[in-house]
Amino acid sequence: MSKRIEIVPYDSNWPRQFDVERERIAAALGPVALRIDHNGSTSVPGLAAKPIIDIQISVRDLQPMGAYSTGLERLGYIHVPHPDDAFCPFFHRPSGWPHTHHVHVVPSDGEEERRTLAFRDYLREHPTCAYEYEDLKRSLATQHNAADFSSQQAYAEAKGAFIEDVIHRALAAGYPRHIYGTE
């Protein structure tokens, strides 16, 4: 029997869980981590989500990967090799399912950093759009297997058109608003 992707109501503990993990990552990576941001659905107050804390780490250079992967691996993160490694290497912990944390590493001041933060900030300031996203996620979650990587990828890809539309609107409206400040 397959386990469907679970979308749960917003949990007010998610920001605290991020803060704890942010401190661990900052200690492990030191000055390599130029920014550590809470992103994804768990970073949007009130938005139902998969109960996985998404974290974006901005670094000066993606290569050599060992500059950050060694520290992340010491914290229990597993790198998942993927073609996206060229612009956004992905790590998760723990190694088995279910994951509690996902980390995406991006170049500082790069397009991926801006896109991710623009999407997050736009959803935070546009609750109607956030709830449309929640409805889409709930609908798609019933069609995908949480423990199967290819099904997880299909779930992510099925959200793609909606996400790209929001990112386009967000960037056109000047998001992210405070990319160089703290959240």
Domain residue ranges in the chain: 14-172
pLDDT along the chain (183 residues), means of 10: 83 98 98 97 97 98 96 97 91 90 96 97 98 96 86 90 98 84 43
The per-residue b/e assignment along 71-97, b for 16 or more CB within 10 angstroms, e otherwise, is bbeebebbbeeeeeeeebbbbbbeeee
User: What pLDDT score does 151 carry?
Assistant: 87
User: What pLDDT score does 27 carry?
Assistant: 98
Residues β-bridged to residue 66: none
pTM (2 d.p.):
0.92
Residue 143 contacts by C-beta under 8 Å, 6 or more apart in sequence?
155, 158
Give the architecture-level CATH label for domain 14-172. Answer: 2-Layer Sandwich (3.30)
Name which of 14, 39, 135 is nearest 90 in CA terms: 39
